[in-house]
Amino acid sequence: MFGPIVTNLGDDDRRLTDRHTAFYARRAAGGCGVIVTEGASVHPSDWPYERAPLAERCADGWRAIADACHAHGALVIASLDHAGGQGSSAYGQAPLWAPSRVPEVNTREVPKWMEARDIDAVVAGFGAAAATAVRAGCDGVEINAGQHSLVRQFLSGLTNHRGDEYGETRHLFARRVIEAVRRGAGDAIVGLRLSCDELAPWAGITPDIAAELAPVLVASGVDYVVVVRGAIFSAEKTRPDHHEPTGFNIDLCRRIRSALPGTPLFLQGSVVDPGQAEWALVDGVADGVEMTRAQLADPDLVRRLAAGEPERIRPCIRCNQTCQVRDARNPILTCVVEPSTGHETDDPDWYVPTRAAADVTVIGGGVAGLEAARVSALRGHRVTVVEREHHLGGVAAIIGPARPFVDWLVAECDRLGVAVQLGTDGAPAATAARSAHVVQATGGRPGLREYDVDPAATLVDVLDVRRGTVELPDAGTIVLFDPIGGPIAVSLAEELGERAVLVTQDNIAGNELSRSGDLAPANVRLAQRGVRIEKRTLLRAVRPGAVEVQDRFNGERRTIDAAAVVDCGFRLPTDPLDGVTVQVGDCVAPRTVLEAVLEARRAARTI
């Protein structure tokens, strides 16, 4: 299954577009069996994000998606949704509708208590949306009772404080929705995405409660259940990043399996490893597996499995950096390891065979260099990668979650016959001389340090720490200077624990982690590890045994003991090399894995 992920591929009129069609068709062409489309609001009272589809305007889009995916043998399920109190009034400029007046956790917005006519309107909206989707050619519909869901909010004691019949019998609203959807869908498939653990046991749905609740809901007309978790206090737990284990809902799904022995269940929850998915099926945990992020990273995942080539599947690294797009920036969904995700209608065929094979030298064996080499080789060129270190992968191999992607790039280059020269600083004259094209992918270098440094002080670059070329003192406080607010300093601080002092100019540690959903979890981890955080603070001087810092706002200076200082700051491009055809990645401007991969592809396609 490919789940109902937010894409931001819609238009300003809240319709599904040609970009949606191409996006889903690409997964269907790759072998995916069940495509669940982006959740569509069933009633105009719900406008949770700017490009959220509205069901009454989705008929043409659902029809196009169904036709395109059916051509590849995939089922198409339309996700039906209403975000309730977890929505936003910014776009519709009307009050949120919810079971009770519980403030939205992130925005603190207090919703409108739904009256009987509001409830009837939403229930009717679910039924009408189901009928529209099925008439448009969808094989069925799926009701969202998981994260960002009005249906779940009625089911939960966290958000349903009503004193009427909908409070006395909290599953009444959900049953009415299911019954209306069943009538609208007729004989088509009706699925239910159900939060079976709100991770708030004091009042929320627990696994035991869900085990009692699920059979009641299924009896109202449900054909399958997708087991998920999360609620208002745990949005980041719905799709966590690499800090949590894969398959985190396995035990939860097994618990619900015991309560629904005859109902098809889908396992969801960071299942990105095909081996784990296969085990879950064989072990009886579930009847199907949702692998959404895995098929963002490699839309051909199923096809490669069917061909007996699991090692060729491009891995999802669970970074959440570009696939979590439910925010005010309205970014288009994509994937750092597969930038064509979300851009199926505008990206070219990167792998079109060359008309004239040439010798290509790639200087630098990081992500950008390896991707440039891989794509060039796939197009038919003879490629050599020159790397000054004694290993490939660059920064991505030693920092962050991208190591599996680096290993995949190395394996693919080896499969394609790319020659590799390690421990070579610059392009050997013989290699460069016979190369018609030279790609520079030499990465970045330490940036300017806008603070004084005593030569006798212990100051190191974070990459040297990660490379193992320098060692931190065994005892004493380690100050980590983090002017970026990203994951690099945070991860090292976590490892150092109580020894670490994280110096940040921001009001919170890891400020930029908000975009990947890791901001709150990261600060929890830092607190649990005993890391001291110096907020709103600038580094002014590094001296033997101490640093001088300054308050960003009032200018006050103070001294912090430090056995060593680790600079986790900005980087600069490496210098241009002579005879280079094109530069890619951090040697142009230090950025992320996404830009490294994308620029490498663009360069390789021009050769």
Residue 43 inside a domain? The answer is: no
Phi, psi of 70 (to 5 degrees): -60, -30
Answer for the pair 463, 551: CB distance below 8 angstroms, yes or no. no
Residue 382 inside a domain? The answer is: yes
Over residues 300-334, the pLDDT tens digits come to 999 999 999 999 999 999 999 999 998 888 899 99
Which pLDDT does position 129 carry in this prediction? 98
CA distance 544 to 440: 39
**479/398 same-domain check:** no
CA distance 265 to 285: 8
Residue (of 333, 368, 324, 332) closest to 513 by Cα position: 324
**198/240 same-domain check:** yes
Residue 332 inside a domain? The answer is: no
As given in the structure block, the two tokens for residue 244 are 């949590």
> Which residues are CB-contacts of 435 (< 8 A; sequence separation ≥ 6)?
358, 359, 360, 361, 384, 427
Residue (of 396, 299, 272, 283) closest to 24 by Cα position: 299
Which pLDDT does position 365 carry in this prediction? 97
Residue 283 inside a domain? The answer is: yes
Q: How many CA atoms lie within 13 A of 456 on its CB side?
A: 4
CA distance 152 to 391: 50
Answer for the pair 229, 252: CB distance below 8 angstroms, yes or no. yes
**233/278 same-domain check:** yes
Which pLDDT does position 430 carry in this prediction? 55
Strand partners, 227: 194, 267
Residue 560 inside a domain? The answer is: yes
**364/463 same-domain check:** no
**150/262 same-domain check:** yes
> Which residues are CB-contacts of 410 (< 8 A; sequence separation ≥ 6)?
370, 392, 393
Residue 104 inside a domain? The answer is: yes
Residue 278 inside a domain? The answer is: yes
**426/476 same-domain check:** no
Q: How far apart are the first and last CA of the chain?
A: 37
Residue 36 inside a domain? The answer is: no
Q: How far is CA 572 from the centre of its chain?
A: 27
**437/526 same-domain check:** no
**102/152 same-domain check:** yes
Domain boundary among 266, 288, 310: 288
3-state secondary structure (DSSP) of residue 118? helix
Across the beta sheet with 537-543, the strand order is 452-453, 537-543, 546-551, 557-561
Burial of 305 per CB tally in 10 Å (0-12, 13-18, 19+): middle
Which pLDDT does position 229 carry in this prediction? 97
**115/205 same-domain check:** yes
CATH number at residue 494: 3.50.50.60
CA distance 557 to 481: 16
CA distance 571 to 86: 39
Which pLDDT does position 435 carry in this prediction? 85
Per-block average pLDDT, block size 10, for the chain (607 residues)?
98 97 98 98 97 98 98 98 96 96 91 97 98 98 97 98 98 98 98 98 97 98 98 90 96 97 97 97 97 98 97 97 90 97 97 96 97 98 95 95 98 98 72 82 94 97 96 96 96 98 97 92 97 98 98 97 97 94 96 97 97
Domain of residue 435 covers: 359-445+575-606
**137/234 same-domain check:** yes
**453/441 same-domain check:** no
Domain boundary among 238, 264, 288: 288
CA distance 393 to 400: 12
Q: Looking at the chain, how many residues does it have?
A: 607
Number of structural domains, the chain? 3
CA distance 514 to 522: 10
Sign of CA dihedral 238, 244, 250, 256: negative
Burial of 561 per CB tally in 10 Å (0-12, 13-18, 19+): exposed
CATH number at residue 390: 3.40.50.720
CATH number at residue 191: 3.20.20.70
pTM confidence score? 0.96
CA distance 204 to 143: 20
3-state secondary structure (DSSP) of residue 141? strand
